Structure 1
Amino acid sequence: MTASKIAYKPVGLALGALSGMIAGAAFKQAWKLVEGQGDAPDATDEDRPWNQILLAAAIQGAIFAVVKASVERSGAVAVRRLTGTWPD
């Protein structure tokens, strides 16, 4: 195992947790803009219509994917700056 892989493991774990928190906060704000309601619907919310459930899931998925990719890429760049090699 290379030094960059070893260095990236704890960084990757910490960044994963951080990206989840960032994405969750971003989704809450985005949902307030979209629907004006405080809480996004869950798939099992009986009183919410299908279109609202699917819209919330699509927005949440897109936000989580973008935040995760951004945070992971930033972490990989930081590891390369520290170790000189790209983590695999």
Structure 2
Amino acid sequence: MSTAVKIAYKPVGLLLGAGAGLVSSLIFKQVWKVAGHDDDAPNATDEDRGWTEILIAAAIQGAIFAVVKAAVDRAGATGVRKATGQWPD
């Protein structure tokens, strides 16, 4: 891949990553509500929440983030290939 394409993709990749974080957060909040829990997911330092609830929430949140991030990264790379003919590294 050319240096110019790498440089051009860097800010796009950062924006896509931030967007993925926002989208995954919104999805997680809805999943957590549907699962029948409080509106707010527990933080690791929530004194009133048990270990099981905190660890389950973290696992679900991490899985959702990983899937959304992978989908967004893949879509961004595909878009770069369509635009430039080169796959970003």
1:11 aligned partner: 12
TM-score by length of 2: 0.93
Runs of 4+ deviating beyond 4 Å: none
2:27 aligned partner: 26
Q: Whole-Å Cα distance in 1 between the matches of residues 85 and 8 of structure 2? A: 11
Q: What is the CA RMSD across the aligned residues, in angstroms?
A: 1.1
1:56 aligned partner: 57
Q: Whole-Å Cα distance in 2 between the matches of residues 13 and 60 of structure 1? A: 20
Q: Which runs of 5 or more residues in structure 1 are unaligned?
A: none
> Identity percentage over the alignment?
65
Secondary structure in 2 aligned to 1:41? Answer: coil
Q: Whole-Å Cα distance in 2 between the matches of residues 6 and 80 of structure 1? A: 15
Query: Do the aligned partners of 1:7 and 1:79 also contact (CA within 8 Å) in 2?
Result: no
Query: Do the aligned partners of 1:5 and 1:87 also contact (CA within 8 Å) in 2?
Result: yes
Q: Which runs of 5 or more residues in structure 2 are unaligned?
A: none
1:46 aligned partner: 47
TM-score by length of 1: 0.94
Cα offset, 1:7, TM superposition: 2.3
Q: How many residues are paired up?
A: 88
Deviates more, 1:29-38 or 1:41-50: 29-38
